[in-house]
Chains A and B, each alone.
Chain A
């Protein structure tokens, strides 16, 4: 199979994830979009690993899955804290640090 098929698929998922992270108001949805971006990176890693017949791609895809799990745990804790303090998870209203 052509390598570019996988890379194009990953690029598409990456761009949709970036759109979701930029255009949505809900903080939990932004976290979901970031998962989509991480998945696109994983597809790239495994495709390149298969291209070079190297296990490093798969190993680092596993590490990215672990990092994604950690990121979601901490991210959701932060979102819950924001909700508890402001009764809303609208990212447009989280502007305490705006200059």
Chain B
């Protein structure tokens, strides 16, 4: 039973990870900004799947609601309101793109080496269910001060966004 679950998790992880990596690469290299936003949706949905694999259902649902439902829509509105080139555009990259690519490949290599050295062979326990009630209890018992700070942050960001974007 546990073995079957492991194989199923492994297969779904492989599919999700492949989809996420391909979409992320396409997002960073596509010539079309609207397509980039849609590729971002695929990456975010894949991340929600990864959270479910790790038995974090509540975070997965929040991810779909907040990221895909709100943030990507905001991004698309931002693209439209700033008259971004819809369709293929030629000069989306600046002249440091090769330098950026070198930096990122180097960074990825360093990260892989360090992670492989630090966490080689460690296993994540196979769990099948994560209870939302536990997260609620944790937030309102152990992490109530960060929670309140997050509320104040959201309020400040709301007021700040209105003040900055207001036409006066």
Name the A residues within 8 Å of B36 (CB-CB).
29, 32
Smallest distance from the beta carbon of A61 to chain B beta carbons, Å? 5
Complex Cα gap A93–B55 (Å):
45
- Known contacts A16-B27, A51-B124, A55-B134; decide if A67 and B115 are in contact (CB<8 Å): no
Q: Which residues of the partner chain A approach B87 to less than 8 Å between Cβ atoms?
A: none
Q: Which secondary structure dominates where chain B touches chain A?
A: helix
How far, in Å, is B68 (CB) from chain A's closest CB?
11
- Tell me the chain A residues, 61-90 only, with Cβ under 8 Å from chain B: 61-63, 65-74, 76-81, 83-84, 89
List chain B residues, Cβ under 8 A from A47.
Answer: 54, 124
* B128: interface (CB < 8 Å): no
Q: List the interface of chain A (C-beta within 8 A of B).
A: 1-9, 11-20, 22-29, 31-33, 35-36, 39, 42-43, 46-47, 49-51, 53, 55-63, 65-74, 76-81, 83-84, 89, 91-92
The contact sample of 14 A-B pairs, CB cut-off 8 A, is A1-B53, A22-B97, A22-B99, A24-B93, A55-B134, A55-B138, A58-B56, A59-B135, A61-B51, A61-B59, A62-B58, A79-B78, A84-B167, A91-B94
